[in-house]
Amino acid sequence: MREKKVYVCSILSMRYFILHIILLALTLSACSNKYQKALKNPDNKVKLEMADAYYKKKDFVRAISLYEQIEEVYSATPFAEKILYNSAQCNFGLKMYALAGFQFKTYFENFPSGSNAEESLYMNAYCAYLESFDAELDQTDTYKAIETFRIFINVYPDSKYINECNTYLDELRAKLSFKAYRTAKLYFNMGEYKSAIVTLKNISREFPEMVQKEEVDFLIVKSHYLLAQNSVAEKQIERYRNTLTAFEELNEQYTEASKFMKEAKEIALKSQLALKKLENKS
């Protein structure tokens, strides 16, 4: 008897499941038909109403396709502002960040006093941030994002988004500094010490907040030393002196606790001895 009840319950459950699937299919079909009718409807007011309805439901694919059909028609009307902003949000929701950023920027330029002007300028920068590649890849979008965040901060210095902007700026600058650091290390490892020195000095000056700052400053000293070691005799005196100057600058910035100080001091001592021998010969 119990087995029969279980069997009946299983059948009923399956029937409810099938009925649910059928109802869902009918609902989707009805929605699809409604959407297709809206696309073909010559009444732009109906398209706008449907686009807004889909936008509120976060059905961005359908919303954006309808907005695109009517944006020119409403371009010189009070509805243009809303259509442009909603279109930008749709593309952002669809992860079309480059297009969304362009639309947010266009909104700000066309409606600088609009209710969404501040948010749009911020979103323009945020979209550029999301388009920025990893440090190993091209950093064109990283520079673009940094510039757009700085523009936003200048326009809205008291904005509620300022903290977020500064956080993203730190991340973007960290990408640039790490890429430059890798380039400098590559020069160093290849024995291209002159190029390494120039690159390392630029990094140290441009990114004083970088994680690898201490190592970068030490590598400047070591690059000078190795360059002097591998130079012809007539250039060694000047280059050992440059090494000692670089060490003095390092020694002024860091304490004995620095993990690079021991080796740096050894380099300074070797440079002094080498310089003394060279000066005695001359």
Where do the H-state alpha helices sit in 132-232?
Answer: 140-155, 162-189, 193-206, 213-229
| Across 264-268, average pLDDT | 95
Amino acid identity at 68: E
Using CA atoms, how far residue 199 sits from 203, 257, 280, in Å, is 6, 26, 33
Q: How confident is the model at residue 33 (pLDDT cuts 50, 70, 90)?
A: low
Place of tokens 């359908």: 62
Q: What angle do CA 31, 32, 38 make, to 5 degrees?
A: 90
| Across 1-25, average pLDDT | 44
- Residue 140 and residue 166: Cα distance in Å, rounded? 19
- Residue 2 and residue 5: Cα distance in Å, rounded? 5
What pLDDT does residue 20 have?
Answer: 45
Q: How confident is the model at residue 27 (pLDDT cuts 50, 70, 90)?
A: very low
Using CA atoms, how far residue 15 sits from 11, 149, 177, in Å, is 6, 57, 62
| Across 240-257, average pLDDT | 93
**Tens of pLDDT along 92-134?**
999 999 999 999 999 999 999 999 999 999 999 999 999 887 7
- Strands (DSSP E) contained in the chain are none
Percent of the chain residues past pLDDT 90, beyond the cut: 66
- Residue 150 and residue 169: Cα distance in Å, rounded? 9
**Lookup: tokens for 53:** 């309805």
**Tens of pLDDT along 185-199?**
999 999 999 999 999
What pLDDT does residue 41 have?
Answer: 61
Amino acid identity at 134: D
Q: How confident is the model at residue 40 (pLDDT cuts 50, 70, 90)?
A: low
- Residue 50 and residue 40: Cα distance in Å, rounded? 12
116 DSSP assignment: T
What pLDDT does residue 11 have?
Answer: 44
Place of tokens 């954006």: 64
| Across 39-43, average pLDDT | 63
| Across 206-234, average pLDDT | 93
- Among 228, 190, 187, which residue's Cα sits nearest to residue 201? 187
